[in-house]
Structure 1
Amino acid sequence: MPGSKLLVALVLLATPWLATALPRPDPVPGGVAVLTLPAGFDAAAQASFAGKPVLTVPVDDGWRALVGIPLGQTPGPAALRLRFADGRTRNIGFTVAAREYPVQRLTITDQDKVTPSAASLKRIEREQVEILAAFRHRSTPAPQLRFAMPAQGPLSSNFGLRRVINGQPRSPHSGIDIAAPAGAPVTAPAPGRVLRVGDYFFTGNTVFVDHGQGLVTLYCHLSSVAVREGQQLVTGDAIGKVGSTGRATGPHLHWALSLNDARVDPRLFLVTETQAAR
């Protein structure tokens, strides 16, 4: 409809982070710092944070670094390390602001999913090697930075929640949960390549998608998987269907996004602020 196209155009013009296709800046633990790089930085230069390569993108007035900030990062001064093609190095300072995430209390009836047995712990240890390797994967293609929602439904758990399961503190929630019904479609939110498909103890049927340069997304608890490793995806392609495999209290999609091996709030990459606020 012409009116809706005009509305989208006006939103893009009024919202700089959308018009330049960059994620919404939120320099907190679990967020993204968008840093302006100095003159002289180009495609041959490199940026790193905490020893890990950082995604850099050209924009109209130079280059930006997109720094994923780990949930465990201590608030306060931080630094991006730059290395230029001629060997020069430079630090770009920025501040990580504090963010207090709420507590979420859950009850899981399968006790092995809360306090795993010795056999389950061995399985978890094996799987962690694969999972961490996927998150740390880095390919050369430049990623698209405007994402759509991979499933339709309200959010049942926000990013960063400090989880207490059956009265026991556990790791923070490193993604968002979308409360879609069992069997609902899960689709690619942006172009990418299927990096890994697996059935894991905690996340059940799981798909990792590589979007390029250290930007990796994760889709968990699927009832079925519709992709194979190495498959190229475009926005809207089927990934699988919503389920409750692994450690889950009911059908939902757990969607996570990793940037330079830091799990960050995927809503920062959504196309519209309306989606990001859901």
Structure 2
Amino acid sequence: MRGVLYLFIATLLAAVGWVASKIVVQSVPGELFIGSRFLLASLVLLPFCYKSLLKLSMKQLLSACGVGVFLGLALQVWIYAVSISDSLSEGAFIMSLAMIIAPLTAWILFQAKPNRAFWIALPVSTTGMMLLSLTNGWKMESSQLLFLLASALLSVHFVMNKRISGNLKPLVSICLQLFVVGLVGLGYASITQPHSIAFSGELISWFAISTLIATSVRYLLQTMGQYKVSMETAALLMILEPIWTLLLSMTLLGETLEPQKLIGGGVIFLSLFLYIKLSRRFAKAEQAKAVQVETEQAETVKA
């Protein structure tokens, strides 16, 4: 139960991060914001995992940092989309498609054929995407295309992160990846044109919220929660993030969502729910079938 609570809070904090990011990027360049936010967030997590970090081999270190580069690229595209988007909620729903895109990415990169649940959920998610983005005819807005690109990059991160997860403790991996995201952001900021920043108490407050609460605490709770509950339960809880983002953006930013887009977001939510539930059901069926085959083989040998 405690793990469920951790993940529930983590999804809410992630949504807070969407709102905080939108407010901060109105005054701070996105690449500088992402760089400083994630670099500081990694330093906050460092005291919890530095002993394990010192024990890593060079191969483990490079693997985690390499995966962090993909996360950094995804977040750079994401923050730019946030800065030009008029609707955080639709961006959150599009970003949630990364879970659906990930099996296709794994198929392309590692020839890991998607399961049946993917092929059932894919047309549902595509329908939701069309309802969400094609309000004004067959033309997607720039921010929507960028959110979709960020989602695809995030799916690459999901796939690569899963391949290294067995060799690293989750908190160590997250700390390293956040650090790399910070370096990617600050590196990109260093080669772009300098911008003047008008500091204010509100800006500093929202930056602190996005760094400490929506990044460090969120990832810490998410890691603790994922450790305590099954993967299916964690995935079901994590799809609450776009729902919270929708509610917070409407409450704090005064956003409105057209009925068609709201239905589209709901259809995307349904596709994620179907994918997770059907994946679990099909996995159980295959496991039961494998046990039955083993039992029959054992009986044959005895006979």
TM-score bucket of the superposed structures, by smaller chain: under 0.3
Q: Which of 1 and 2 has greater Rg?
A: 2
TM-score by length of 1: 0.25
Higher helix share: 2
- Larger strand fraction of residues: 1
